[in-house]
Amino acid sequence: MDSLRLPSLNALTVSHSSFQKEQRAKFSGKLNYFNSSMPPSLILSPPFRTLNRHRQHRRVMQMQAADEDYDLKQMRDMAAAKRRWDAMIREGKVNVLTPREAGYAIQLNNKTLLDVRPSVEKKKAWVKGSTWIPIFEVDDRFEMGTISRKITNFIMGGWWSGVPSLSYDNQFLSKVEEKFPKDADLIVACQRGLRSLAACELLCNSGYRNLYWVQGGLEAAAEEDLVIEGPQPLKFAGIGGVSEFLGWTDQQRVAAAKEGWGYRLLFSARLVGIFLVADALFLGVQQVSRYIQDIRSH
């Protein structure tokens, strides 16, 4: 895995660089608000306050430099991976199929579809008769390093997109080898097409020679291209978080254009409900603060 220098999971799912910068700015604003709201008893004397500010500034600069280095490394890893993947396809090591062509191969020629998506996407919708072996899976470990990554992923956009913290499955190749011989015809697919390319590279390097990649992923498939099972449409399998709840994803906008006003009213009602709940919480906090002040005054 390390020798392949695969880009991290955020780069293989959706680019959040601009979104992350916006969230950092908002988070910084919240920190400033909390600092300005500190009670007088917690405010340090001027010399210590100045020293503390210098330390905080130095830490912020270090964090910003680390973020920039991380983003730069992500871009370099992604660019290097793309060059390898382009060469792999150009040299004919992996064949390219459209979702419709993949559907024909599965239904008419009994080819096997290898679904490498994580469980959060697979449980929403899947191709009938496909074999599911995820290359990346939801990281459910509760260790110091994994918890910090989960918090960072949530702050940097996971709350909005619903993309969880994922980790590479070290048993991916062994699981595939247990089910399929090296001469098997495998149609490899994920939700958007990037993780399946990473899987094709791993499989190709391990000796598989009859590999087919679904260009654009399962999300690019039309309703008639593949036989789908599951509780949701296939195009909705890759969305989540607050954006899905409010209906602010591209997939839901397309569905709204087809379904009409009834579909849009559902998400409009959810948005109004959020504002009402937020307003009620704000009024409740005000009432509680007044109640506490009345108790202290007496």
Q: Beta strand 112-115 with 94-97: parallel, antiparallel or unpaired?
A: unpaired
**Can 200 be counted among the known catalytic residues?**
no
Q: Are 97 and 216 in contact (CB under 8 A)?
A: no
DSSP string, 162-208: -PPPEEE-TTHHHHHHHHS-TT--EEEE-SSSHHHHHHHHHHHHTT-
d(CA 243, CA 157): 10
The Cβ-side half-sphere exposure at 280, using a 13 Å CA radius, reads: 6
Active-site pick, 12, 125, 187, 190: 190
Tokens linked to 252: 């839901």
Neighbouring residues of 263: CB distance < 8 A, sequence distance ≥ 6: 247, 255, 256
Q: Are 9 and 15 in contact (CB under 8 A)?
A: no
Beta bridge partners of 114: 131, 188
CA-based torsion, 268, 228, 104, 184: positive or negative: positive
Neighbouring residues of 249: CB distance < 8 A, sequence distance ≥ 6: 239, 243
Q: What is the set of active-site residues? A: 190
